[in-house]
Structure 1
Amino acid sequence: MNLAGIDEATLMQTWKGGPSAEEGYHRAYTTSTYEGDQLQVDFNYPRQMARISLKLAAEGMREYVAVIKSGTILQERESVGRRSMDLQHKFQPHLPWLALLPDSALLEVIGGNYGIPTQSAFANRSGYGPALPVYPGREPFSLLQVFKKYLQQKREREEKARGWLRKLWRRLPGEAFDLGLGGLLIWLFSHGYINLTELAGYSGSLGVFCGAWDWLWRQRDPFLPKVMALAGLSAWAVYWQVQNRMWAIFL
């Protein structure tokens, strides 16, 4: 990957800085190579930690991640299968880009690993520097970002559960609550608080809502027997409503 012949002004704008979306990091630098690969380096200045992420276009944007603290590599992995692996050969072709990182404090934390220099190629150039302070204190508050992180954490907890018994135990409270609502509708109907039309509408809507709630909020696949049971209750109510109206003709 040769950057020779590219004018200095273009090289100085290689990396874009901004707040980090990764939990535990305050700042991020991102860039894309001419081959379509994506590089992102996240930085936690107080803890002296860096996270290097590389997505390779030739591998369908498969992501490789390294976590470094004060010059010591803590973790190297491929994110999809979460396999530990040596990433030297993955980062080596991208050294010309990594050498252009504008933050010398970040480069010192990386500590020369993978052959990345400890000083920016433009560290001593006048008029050049990072767009943000070394440590911004705290990233701007974003309610949407907080919500996305919360849902991502819930999805990760669901995926980490191993064994059918543990998965059943995690699902049991939510499924019991949803089925309890269905039971409440039956109780209301049997005691005359709602009629067949209302039972059909409420139970059908509850089935759709519970399925969507599982998928969007609980971050797991909907429990189909529960959805089908509520839909079946709605169909039963519709059937008997039609039957009652048909028999009413002869009364």
Structure 2
Amino acid sequence: MKSVGMFAALAVGAWIAPTLASAQPSPLVMGRLETYGRFAGDAPFCEAAGYKRLDPSGEAYRQAVDKVADRAGVGAQDAEAAAAAAQARESQEMQAGLDKVKARLADPSGDADLRLFATEVAARCHRVADDPLGSILLEPPPRSRASSVALRYADSLLEPLGRAGWQTPLIKAGAALAEAAGACEAHLGKGAADAAMAPLREPYVVPPDIYDQAFAYFDKRRAAGRAHPETAAQCRGLIAKRAAEFRKIPKLK
């Protein structure tokens, strides 16, 4: 994942043509400009975590940062150089963290580190979205706290491995049934395949708060089944077997 580099183009010139301002900017002002640069570095990672990017090009944000710098008596080139350097550092740090946890996804012992990383990402993203200038870049998911964003982000990485927090044994058994329905759809017809999935919509199978996630998962597994169809002979017992396995698991009550 690459940061948008919204300050990079103009920052290059800052090293060639220093500003004419005689006074050195205060550390407080420069620290704030560096914070704005870090916000820009966080933005693409926040988008992956479920935030909405409001200014993908970064132009509106860059102009807003320039106005803050101008009011503080800092030249645009100095401001953009500071922000660009901070953006690059932040992007590199976030990417390194993401690469580290992704490298361990296959190992369940790494799940705790993944969730810690997701928590840190969500906290940073909330800081961006809560800031008057940062809100130019990002909009948080509706009615979401940082903790819920972190949970969904970590789960999105663990879902393909069947280790998301909402992937209960019942949900995973339902996904196996959905995959069988997809694999046999060519032989059974769509109506019969839909009927095979009817148990997934019974009460107490999917909690309301994860309904959309679970059925998106079921749909993906059904599509995966369609991509690897079974023979007619295999289908005669496959759906019955998967349905029986699903029925063995107690429902949530």
- Bucket of the pairwise TM-score, normalised by the shorter protein: under 0.3
More helix by share: 2
TM-score of the superposed pair, with normalisation by structure 1: 0.26
| Structure with more relative contact order (C-alpha pairs < 8 Å, separation 6 or more) | 2
More strand by share: 1
Which structure's CA Rg is the greater one? 1
TM-score of the superposed pair, with normalisation by structure 2: 0.26
